[in-house]
A and B are shown apart, each in its own frame.
Chain A
Amino acid sequence: MRDLLGYGEDEATMVAVFLHDQRQSGRVAGRLDRELGGALAAVPWNTSQPQLAAFIALKVGGAVFMELLIAVLVAAGIFNTLFVSVMERLREFGIMLAIGWSPGRLFRLVMMESVWLAALGLVGAFLLTLGPYLYLSSTGLDLTAVYGGTVEVAGVGLDPVLKIGIFPRNAVMIALFAVVATLASGIYPAWRAGRVEPVETIRVV
């Protein structure tokens, strides 16, 4: 190829710089560009490979949509759990209000339950996903059999062994989101607990 185009050993039209973290590519390209001056241009990968970038953006968009959908389902599940547990205890809440609990105190009580639920969920989810995550990030999933050899997207070859990795920042975001969703789902049931009419619940029929 080089011979064909008449390039020397130390000549090139393009130099690829590999980074550990693709999120830095914009910044690094910008800095390189400045230092290289006007003669040469440095561009981040998503500018040099627009089709690949578009493909990944599409994938990420789909994943975000799925994540939101799952989040809504999870929040609905938590809401249901808390709401049912409150409705089952209306009588108890009525008694508690009668003997001097304030609605605010009952609200905090039920909110504490959702905090526990969130904490339990986080620990449980961490323990459940740790094994599969470690396996997928070290060994990975070999898709050679599925794709039969190499995989190429927009002219860029991909490793058929799929390995996953998660940015710590994203993991924290997901955990935070789960906690917020749990707490938010607890607000209505907690409010409802304090709205019980003691007279109704203690009435003998």
Chain B
Amino acid sequence: MAGDPIISLTDVTRVYRQGSVDIHALRGLTLEIEPGEFTAVCGPSGSGKTTTLNLIGALDSVTSGSIALEGRELGNLNKKELSALRRDRIGFVFQAYNLMPVLTAYENAEMVLWVQGVDAATRRERVMDLLDQVGLKGLEDRRPSELSGGQQQRVAIARAIASNPAVVLADEPTANVDSETAETLLGLMETLNRDQGVTFLFSTHDPQVMERARRVVRLVDGGVASDERR
């Protein structure tokens, strides 16, 4: 392993309190992700995949242990810094797409650049290029409700990579689409990974999707059960 990891989790635990019972979602998870990796996190339901991705994405915070993104300790950042980190360094792709329903495909992809304060001309150029890359040329003015699930997820991928993030976190990105669409979405992610060096970390239940990952981390009961590169 050469160079510094882009993500490192050290002995991370996450305990949810539900009423009077403690749910140990993660029990001492340690994991490092290198820049440019294309990693699938798999494991049975409830093994902690979503929890792990939410923690790395600074949407949730650890009960104990530590997480660093590009060497920055998340636990040391305040709310505002975490927002900026999510805006500039992390791209999210969600299972349920989670696009803004009132915005067009173009505007959805543009919104991160807009918050970043990128000027209009640069935004336009970048978004047109992005939508072209994800194969949505000509559909810029469609709203999510006028797009298929696969197309919506392409918009979400365009939105996720718009800011040139350090890593794209995708929680079951193909769970809501048919297997053919899943194949093409994965192909798109592979292309972005190979050609632009975007680091992807995604969770999945789908053996067909795991098949195409270059590293598969298997979680069981909130810990790493196996970790193989190929």
Residues of A within 8 A of B92 (CB): 98-99
Asked if B88 contacts A100 (CB within 8 A), the reply is: yes
A100 partner, pick from B79, B96, B101, B112, beta carbons under 8 A: B112
Q: Is B60 an interface residue (CB 8 A)?
A: yes
Q: Is A101 an interface residue (CB 8 A)?
A: yes
Residues of B within 8 A of A92 (CB): 100-101
Interface residues of B in 143-197 (CB under 8 A from A): 159, 163, 172
Q: Is B120 an interface residue (CB 8 A)?
A: no
Q: Is A199 an interface residue (CB 8 A)?
A: yes
Q: Mark A176-195, 1 if CB is under 8 A from B, else 0.
A: 00000000000000000000
Q: Is A26 an interface residue (CB 8 A)?
A: no
Interface residues of A in 87-103 (CB under 8 A from B): 91-92, 95-103
Q: Is A172 an interface residue (CB 8 A)?
A: no
Q: In the bound complex, how far is the Cα of B96 from the Cα of A91, in angstroms?
A: 12
Q: How many residues of B contact A (CB 8 A)?
A: 27
Asked if B115 contacts A101 (CB within 8 A), the reply is: yes
Asked if B83 contacts A100 (CB within 8 A), the reply is: yes
Residues of B within 8 A of A103 (CB): 79, 83
Q: How far is the CB of B146 from chain A (nearest CB, A)?
A: 18
B94 partner, pick from A100, A104, A202, beta carbons under 8 A: A202
Residues of B within 8 A of A198 (CB): 59
Q: In the bound complex, how far is the Cα of B95 from the Cα of A180, in angstroms?
A: 42
Asked if B83 contacts A102 (CB within 8 A), the reply is: yes
Q: Which of B95, B99, B115, B116 has the most CB of A within 10 A?
A: B115
Q: In the bound complex, how far is the Cα of B99 from the Cα of A97, in angstroms?
A: 13
Known contacts A199-B59, A199-B60; is-contact A102 B79 (Cβ 8 Å): yes
Residues of A within 8 A of B80 (CB): 102, 104
Q: Is B215 an interface residue (CB 8 A)?
A: no
Q: In the bound complex, how far is the Cα of B20 from the Cα of A121, in angstroms?
A: 50
Known contacts A202-B98, A204-B95; is-contact A102 B84 (Cβ 8 Å): yes
Sample of 8 more A-B contacts, CB < 8 Å, known A95-B99, A102-B79 = A92-B101, A97-B83, A98-B98, A100-B86, A100-B88, A104-B80, A199-B59, A202-B59
